């Protein structure tokens, strides 16, 4: 068994002319297809292909027009238009690109957190009202500079061409542990696989390659299930320690590789982990449970589907900001507010039907 290549992401160079950006997008789609073929020929499955754009002066509407013109999305490529500072974000433009299938993030304003949380909650509600699945493509970034990572939506190219890789590997680690490997040995084996993928992608593309080693789930390929295998259970004593233990291993292999870029931590996005969704369906999980895990991992308040309330989300964003500030590491938030009650479900497109969770125990 091999880990899944969760994403191969092309970090686009900074260009000022629209015609040059068009050429970059066409080249990116071709390059990603070549990398995918090479990886599949070596037995690696590629989950997604992506393009991350740098911050630029072209404007979101113009960028959307160029992405549509090149047909990148129709070729199966996910596109992030890069981060926008929340103080300068245009509500109509942000909503427009999200409803048309692109990704973006809003950088939180550390100088005006009260204003920033109000703006963020308003925009998130506006987008989710138009289409809840569009809300999955918007993040609030708690870091002062754009972050170059293959993890969307909070992804912005540095403006220097390159490739970013991420991996889907909870089941890979779990099976190694179940067959007798220690957690450290399992991560060492993962590091060897990552090195092989990096070498192959570098040889195919001729570009610099970076890796976000974050441990993230997708549905039944569950981080929570992996945690249970090594003896730690969500919402029970010891789970925070278990997450911290895995984070230490992630950072160990990330640091030794010299390739790390992005978050490089355990991720617990609610709607993407079937074990978390099952807890949500029983009313046994809250948004504040997930926020508490942000103290030891990057994504606790991620992909949370919550009841409709601009005021509650505004305060929740401030709490997430506070945790990230004390933790002093990059973090992000994705929230999808809907007019449903806890345990009722909402259709989030490729994420399926996801139950609403309350902010705090509701019964």
What is the block-wise mean pLDDT of the chain (363 residues), using blocks of 10 residues?
96 89 92 97 97 86 84 88 92 92 96 97 96 97 95 96 98 97 98 97 97 97 97 95 95 96 96 97 95 81 96 97 91 96 96 96 71
Longest dimension (CA), the chain: 57
Whether 82 contacts 53, CB under 8 Å: yes
pTM for this structure?
A: 0.95
- For tokens 């590091």, the residue is 191
CA nearest neighbour of 5 among 56, 59, 46: 46
H helices, E strands: number in the chain: 11, 12
pLDDT score recorded for residue 75 = 83
The tokens for 335 are 């929230």
Dist. CA 100–CA 103, nearest whole Å: 9
Whether 126 contacts 95, CB under 8 Å: yes
Residues with Cβ within 8 Å of 147's Cβ and at least 6 positions away in sequence, in order, are 83, 141, 154, 155, 156, 262, 263, 330
Whether 34 contacts 204, CB under 8 Å: yes
The tokens for 79 are 């596109």
Whether 208 contacts 163, CB under 8 Å: yes
């Amino acid at each position: 068994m091999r880990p899944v290549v969760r994403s191969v992401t092309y970090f686009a160079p900074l260009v000022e002319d629209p015609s040059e950006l068009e050429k970059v997008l066409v080249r990116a789609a071709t390059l990603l297809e070549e990398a995918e073929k090479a990886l599949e020929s070596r037995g690696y499955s590629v989950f997604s292909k992506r393009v991350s754009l740098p911050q630029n002066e072209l404007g979101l509407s113009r960028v959307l027009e160029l992405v549509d013109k090149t047909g990148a999305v129709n070729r199966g490529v996910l596109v992030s238009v890069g981060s926008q500072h929340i103080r300068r974000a245009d509500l109509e433009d942000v909503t427009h690109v999200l409803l048309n299938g692109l990704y973006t993030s809003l950088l939180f304003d550390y100088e005006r957190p009260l204003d920033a949380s109000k703006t963020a909650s308003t925009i998130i509600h506006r987008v989710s009202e138009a289409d809840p699945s569009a809300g999955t493509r918007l993040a609030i970034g708690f870091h002062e500079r754009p972050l170059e990572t293959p993890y969307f939506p909070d992804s912005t190219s540095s403006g220097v061409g390159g490739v970013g890789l991420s991996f889907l590997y909870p089941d890979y680690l779990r099976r190694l542990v179940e067959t007798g490997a220690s957690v450290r040995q399992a991560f060492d084996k993962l590091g060897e696989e990552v090195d092989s993928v990096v070498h192959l992608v570098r040889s195919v593309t001729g570009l610099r390659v970076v890796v976000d080693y974050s441990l993230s789930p997708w549905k039944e390929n569950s981080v929570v299930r992996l945690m249970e295998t090594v003896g730690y259970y969500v919402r029970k004593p010891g789970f925070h320690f278990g997450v911290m233990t895995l984070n230490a291993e992630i950072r160990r292999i990330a640091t030794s590789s010299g390739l790390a870029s992005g978050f490089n931590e355990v991720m617990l996005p609610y709607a993407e982990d079937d074990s978390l969704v099952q807890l949500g369906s029983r009313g046994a999980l809250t948004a504040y449970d997930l926020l508490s895990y942000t103290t030891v991992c990057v994504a606790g308040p991620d992909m949370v589907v919550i009841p409709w309330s601009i005021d509650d989300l505004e305060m929740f964003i401030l709490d997430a900001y506070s945790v990230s500030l004390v933790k002093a590491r990059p973090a992000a938030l994705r929230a999808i507010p809907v007019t449903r009650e806890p345990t009722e479900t909402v259709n989030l497109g490729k994420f399926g039907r996801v139950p609403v969770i309350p902010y705090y125990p509701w019964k």
